[in-house]
Amino acid sequence: MATQNPGGNLGGPPNIPVADEPGSASRKASTAGAVNTHGHNTIYLDTSVTFEAYHFWAERAREEEKHFETVGATTQIKEVFSRAEKKKKQQQQAIDAAPTNAVEKSTSSPNADNESDSRFGVTTSEWEHANRAARTATWVSIFYLIATDILGPYSVPWSLAQMGLGPGITLYVVFAGFAAYSGFQLWWQFTGLDSPKYPLRNYGDLGFRVYGNWARQLINVLQSCQFFLNVTLLIVSKGQGLAQMARGANRQGFLCFVVAQLIFMLLGFLLGQIRTLQRLGFLANVAVWLNIFVIIMSMVVIPVYGPNEEAAAAQSGVAIGEAIRVASYWPEGSGVTDRINGLMNAVYAYGGATLFVELMAEMRRPMDFYKGFICAQVFIFVVYITMGIVVYSFQGQYTFNPVYQGIPNAAYAWQTVGNAVVLISGLIAALLYGNIGIKVFYAAVLRDVFRFPPLETRTGKITWIFMVPIYWACAFVIAAAVPQISQLGAFVGAAFILQFSYTFPPILQVGYNVQRDAILPEEVFDPATGQSRRVDGGLRRILRGFSKQLFRNTFDSLYFICALATAGLGMYAAIIGMTEGFSKGTVRSFSCQSPTGS
């Protein structure tokens, strides 16, 4: 008797007929107990669908998209600034695509999603049309969204101070190049596996289609941890900002640092009850322009007023009153740990690949993703390097992380402007990270493991109300216990961001290449019957697929191993840096003394 072949099985047993149509009997069995992890239909996580089916429908979708009408870049830029109206139009298109009886069918039958000829009463063609109608993003909007997600160069000058101008700029170039290569790998995989019939929604879905459910679970857990620690980092930095603002121009005021962190956490408690990202969309756009203002302001003010020596001494232990030193090579006195921590902050700066799949899932023509991606990478790199060189050149060993808190007390007004503006944008970012992080945790743990109902249900909404304060309280505890923004940022970069930007893309590419290239000419997928048949499986099939692009697959495998080694080295250096900070007494857990010296 033939058995089903999971889409993530690289080898697969030979001579297996696979039912691919959504209403097949095999699908009924596989979806009956499946879990809807991200608010979409269980169809996306069906293990009965083969790689051949995903790839066939993806190729057909890309051919159809070649004939879609496109608008000029000017019109696309205008659309970026009218997202609310665009969202209404998109929702109406999706509603128009689904007939009224779909709702009736879904409410009348508890197993409507398993009907033999429809999903929730919607036929296959109608389902595909609705999925297409929901995709309206263009490459210009993708440029904007990538810049929104990645742009945050406040640690770049400090990174250069740890590595020196020569090694620092070189490593930023190298990591930018590999980040671009990884981004293209995710793009190649997405365009080869996504279709309106089987749409890809997130990074975890990509891992599922290449390696299976274990990869999706791993990716979802790491993604949730990354967003959680991003919130923790924001609590530390914004707590520093509040304490610095409270000190005043005459440095007579005082706000306990841990209390400042607690205030930021309480704001998260209250505003974190917003469940839908749509309500945060406008604020996210505002946050981008606030960050751009602070970047420009910092580069203008710092050359005039110089460094904040007191803050740098409190953070890094440098001596006050020395001449500013700008190192062209490895800085004198910097150890391997310092250099690696500086490098990991560079990794943190390029950590945008986590959401690339989600961004491509919004595009009308995913093949155009590379346009927005290239423009965003160039723009971000130029901003990072320019700001890093300007600030480090005028502050030297006194460079502070984050940069706007390194504005000296003599320019308290500008220092406060930077803290106040970034406090607003940081709160918005924390709400976004917290929102996504809680949803991913709810999907990966509460739904998959403990079988909780969808988040939109009454039970789900009640659970959300209690999860938000618990989430923020846990983030506060870590932030107050380890108030070392540079070392904590290095740890997050090494343990999580590096995986999504540098470790996962190449190994996913290898798995994708092996499955695609192992398909023999006689192994034809039949869309009419929804069946595909493999003539062999196991190690023989894997070796055939791997050898088809031997050099590229070998390079990507080595790239994966090197990225893992770099991650391990980065985590080790970050932990050593944290330990040294505590042993020297420059930082204390749950302390009133701020890392800025206030």
Residue type, 348: Y
pLDDT the model gives residue 112: 36
CA dihedral 305→310→313→315, nearest 10 degrees, is -90
394 vs 281 pLDDT, higher one: 394
Q: Report whether pLDDT(81) > 60.
A: no
Measure the CA–CA gap between 479 and 470, rounded to whole angstroms: 14
- pLDDT mean over 105-112: 36
CA dihedral 575→580→583→589, nearest 10 degrees, is -50
Range ranked top by mean pLDDT from 46-50, 65-69, 136-140, 545-549: 545-549
Measure the CA–CA gap between 380 and 350, rounded to whole angstroms: 9
How confident is the model over 326-377, as pLDDT tens digits?
Answer: 999 999 888 888 888 888 877 777 777 787 888 888 888 899 999 988 998 8
Q: What is the dihedral sign for C-alpha 225, 426, 147, 573?
A: negative
Q: Is 41 helix (H, G, I), strand (E, B) or coil?
A: coil
The answer for 90, left when phi > 0, alpha when psi is -120 to 50, beta otherwise, is alpha
Exposure string over 468-500, b if 16+ CB within 10 A, otherwise e: bbebbeebbbbbbebbbbbbbbbbbbbbbbbbb
Q: What percent of the chain has pLDDT over 70?
A: 77
Confidence band for 583, pLDDT divided at 50, 70 and 90: confident
What does pTM read for this prediction?
Answer: 0.80
The 3 state secondary structure assigned to 502-548 is HHHHHHHHHHHHHHHHCCCCCCCCECCCCECCCCCCHHHHHHHHHHH
How confident is the model over 247-272, as pLDDT tens digits?
Answer: 876 667 788 999 999 999 999 888 88
Which run of H or E residues covers position 318?
A: none
135 vs 113 pLDDT, higher one: 135
Residue type, 177: G
pLDDT the model gives residue 283: 67
Q: Is 272 helix (H, G, I), strand (E, B) or coil?
A: coil
Q: How many CB atoms lie within 10 A of CB 565?
A: 11
Domains of the chain are 139-185+200-584 (1.20.1740)
Q: Is 450 helix (H, G, I), strand (E, B) or coil?
A: coil
176 vs 280 pLDDT, higher one: 176
Give 363's strand partners: 137
**Structural tokens at position 124:** 């296959």
How confident is the model over 403-431, as pLDDT tens digits?
Answer: 999 999 889 999 999 999 989 888 888 88
Q: Report whether pLDDT(93) > 50.
A: no
Measure the CA–CA gap between 401 and 307, rounded to whole angstroms: 12
